[in-house]
Structure 1
Amino acid sequence: MPESCDVVIIGGGVIGCAIAHRLAQRGTSVVLVDAGQRLGLGASDGAMGGILTQTERSCLGPLSSVIKRSRDAYPQWLEEIHAASGVEVPVLDGGDIQVALDDAEMERLETKVLPQWKNSPFAVERLTATDARSLEPLLSERVVGGFLLPEELALDPRVLMAALATAVLSGSTPIRVLSAVRATGLRTGPRGVEVELHDGRRVSAEQAVVAAGHLSGVFLPRHRDHLFPIKGVAFDVRPPGAVTYPLRHHIFAEITEDGREYFPYLVPRHDGRVAVGVTYEENVGDVTVTTAAIEEIRRGVAALMPKAATWLVGRRWAGLRPGSADHMPIIGHVDDHGRVVAATGHSGLGVTLAPVTAELVAALVGGTAGDREKELLAVVRPDRPFSPAPAPSA
């Protein structure tokens, strides 16, 4: 006989775990199926950890209202996870500094990007070169100006996942976790769903949530062409003697040199490390850390913050962001019976959008979506027309 529950979730990353935790809070019985040896070993383990409001280009359009809801929910959400897990997730709240290293880039920011920032529901502050270096003295002398995005946050995704996984596995909530188990099929009908597992077992449920990252298309045939991996490489560095945040902000720049584009992004950690990245390779599904990718990041970091390029390199990694054709998540019912909910395609915004995704999916599953939730769900609805969007910025 198949194992049964109210909701089966395919995927145990930050999105799947956030949804499981929210549903369990409401008394819903959940089976969480994840292929990893432990939860969060996919895209969540490779994330940089920025909770972004404006840095990503996809933040600056219709998705801004969804991001606003998630950003507003973040402090309370982390408190709930802390209470459930006993694991505190340190958060850097200084904001993001986006700088220009030449006049042409500053003009682009002022004429093309600033109007979009001003149309978003978040604050933005213009910085002179002196302002920027007063906030972060290690910035390059090449910096000609920039902008502070004060409402952006940053955290260590591995700590967040440790807290979420502990909350999910704590035993105080009706969640059964099947780790190192690969879902191989999903069938839906008017009475419920059934998930087939690689070992021959089955899980039957009233509803299913597909949060399988870049592999979600396996279970969402109507959206298979809209979903793809976006490979990103990054690595950690540690300033000599650093034992707490070595920078007060996370820092980003777009740099064009010798006909090549670089997107250096520095995210300080609470234990003294700095995560630096990041690369973008759409439709690349391997997690090999290449010398070329490391060198690309080093060049960008050396231009943005020369001192950081000399710091000792620690862990190196590659992750696969779950990309969508327009770089916005796909959240909503996707089958004819109203039994399967997609929660995928977050691109580089999985950590940013985890609280609101959990909230919206719980509302869909429980049939409790109010007018505001319906407005947000309309932005990310699975049946929207997909058109290519510019590549994400961070």
Structure 2
Amino acid sequence: MPETCDVAIIGAGVIGCAIAHRLGSQGRSVVVVDKAPRVGLGASDAAVGGILTQTEPACVGPLTVVIGRSREMYPAWLDELREASGSPLPVLEGGDIQVALDETEMERLVTEVLPQWRELPFKISQLSAAEARELEPLLSESVVGGFLLPEELALDPRDLMAALARTLACGRAGVRVLTGTRVTCLRSLPGAAELTLDDGTLISAGTVVVAAGHRSAGFLPDLRHHLFPIKGEAFDTRPPGATTYPLRHHVFTEVREGDFEGFPYLVPRHDGRVAVGVTYEPHVRNRRATGRARAEILRGVAALMPVAATWPIERHWAGLRPGSTDHRPVIGFVDDHDRVLAATGHSGLGVTLAPVTAELVAALIDRSVTAEARDMLDVCRPDREFVPIAEAPPPKAEGTPLTQEAPLTPAETRLPTAP
């Protein structure tokens, strides 16, 4: 006999766990399945931890309404997780500083970026070079100005995942997590959806949510051409003697020097570390951390905050973001019976959009979609026209293009729909 539950979730990253917590808190029985040995070992473990409102290009445009709702939800959501898990979950609330290192970049920010930011419902403060360095004295003397985006937050994604894991593990929310278990088949039926696991276990659920990160395309064949991995690398450093936040803000810039383009991003941690990144390699799926990427990041950091490039590196990692063609998430039912629901494709905004994604998925399952939620779901609907927001750069030399990977197994490449 199959195991039964109200909702089964494929994927135990920040999106899958946020959905499980929401549904479990509403009294639903939930089973979460992930092939990793514990929760949060995919893109969530590799994230740098910015909760963004403006700095990601996808924040500007149709996704603004979704980001605004998620940012509104974040304080209460974290308080709920703190209470449920007993975890402190520190959050950096000073905002993000985006600076320009030369007059050309400052002109671009003022003439191209600022008009777009002014269309968003978030605060902006323009900074002179002196004002930027007063806020963060370690910034390079090359800084000519910038902007403070005070509503952007930052946290350590590992802290967030630990709090979610503890909350789900306590059992009070009616959630069971199966790790180290691979889904080999997903079937949509008129009365339920069924998962077959690699040990032969059959799970029958009223709804199956596909939140499997970059592997979601294997369960969503109609979206295969719009979902892909985006490799990113980052590392942790620690200023000598630091035991608490070594910076008061997270800091970002874009560096262009000849044929070099870098996007250095520094996110301070509550224990004295600074997470430093990031690289962007679409359609690359290997998780190998490379010397080339480390050198690329360090070159950008040296331009942005020279002393930070001298701090010892404690951990260097690579991860795979779940990308989509237009950098917007895919949230909605994908089968004829409304039994299989996608919640994936968040690109670099998984941490940012976790609470609102859980809210929208719950509304769809409850069949209680408000007008406000409908507007957000229209932005993320699976059957939308996927229009790229920019030309994606080609894979770097040390990456492995997706086309060179072994093909997915048949069970991962089809979603059979019973008549």
Q: How many residues align?
A: 393
| Aligned position for 1:141 | 141
The reply on whether 1:225 has 2:225 as its aligned counterpart is yes
Matches within 5 A, 1:196-345: 196-345=196-345
- CA contact under 8 A between 1:57 and 1:390: conserved in structure 2? no
Q: What's the CA shift string for 1:139-176, capped at 9, x where partnerless?
A: 00000000010000000000000000110111111111
**Unaligned segments of structure 2, at least 5 residues:** 394-419
| Aligned position for 2:401 | none
| Aligned position for 1:179 | 179
Deviation at 1:258, TM superposition (A): 2.0
Runs of 4+ off more than 3 Å = none
Q: What's the CA shift string for 1:175-200, capped at 9, x where partnerless?
A: 11111001122100111100111121
- CA contact under 8 A between 1:188 and 1:337: conserved in structure 2? yes
- CA contact under 8 A between 2:236 and 2:315: conserved in structure 1? yes
Deviation at 1:260, TM superposition (A): 1.5
**Distance across 2 between alignment mates of 1:392 and 1:371:** 34
**Distance across 1 between alignment mates of 2:330 and 2:144:** 38
Deviation at 1:234, TM superposition (A): 0.3
- CA contact under 8 A between 1:58 and 1:392: conserved in structure 2? no
Give the TM-score taking structure 2 as reference length: 0.93
Aligned partner of 1:83: which letter?
E
Report sequence identity in percent: 65
- CA contact under 8 A between 2:282 and 2:392: conserved in structure 1? no
**Distance across 2 between alignment mates of 1:356 and 1:281:** 27
Matches within 5 A, 1:342-353: 342-353=342-353
- CA contact under 8 A between 2:101 and 2:255: conserved in structure 1? yes
Q: What's the CA shift string for 1:329-383, capped at 9, x where partnerless?
A: 0001111111111000000000000000000001101111111111111111111
Q: What's the CA shift string for 1:119-156, capped at 9, x where partnerless?
A: 01101110110010000000000000000100000000
**Unaligned segments of structure 1, at least 5 residues:** none
| Aligned position for 1:114 | 114
Give the TM-score taking structure 1 as reference length: 0.99
- CA contact under 8 A between 1:91 and 1:153: conserved in structure 2? yes
Q: What's the CA shift string for 1:248-293, capped at 9, x where partnerless?
A: 0000001101211100000000000000000000000011001000
**Distance across 1 between alignment mates of 2:147 and 2:65:** 21
Task: Give the secondary structure class of the aligned counterpart of 1:22.
Answer: helix
Q: CA RMSD in A?
A: 1.0
**Distance across 2 between alignment mates of 1:391 and 1:90:** 36
- CA contact under 8 A between 2:54 and 2:60: conserved in structure 1? yes
**Distance across 1 between alignment mates of 2:230 and 2:202:** 31
Q: What's the CA shift string for 1:81-109, capped at 9, x where partnerless?
A: 11111112100000000000011110110
- CA contact under 8 A between 1:74 and 1:355: conserved in structure 2? yes
**Distance across 2 between alignment mates of 1:3 and 1:305:** 54
Task: Give the secondary structure class of the aligned counterpart of 1:178.
Answer: strand
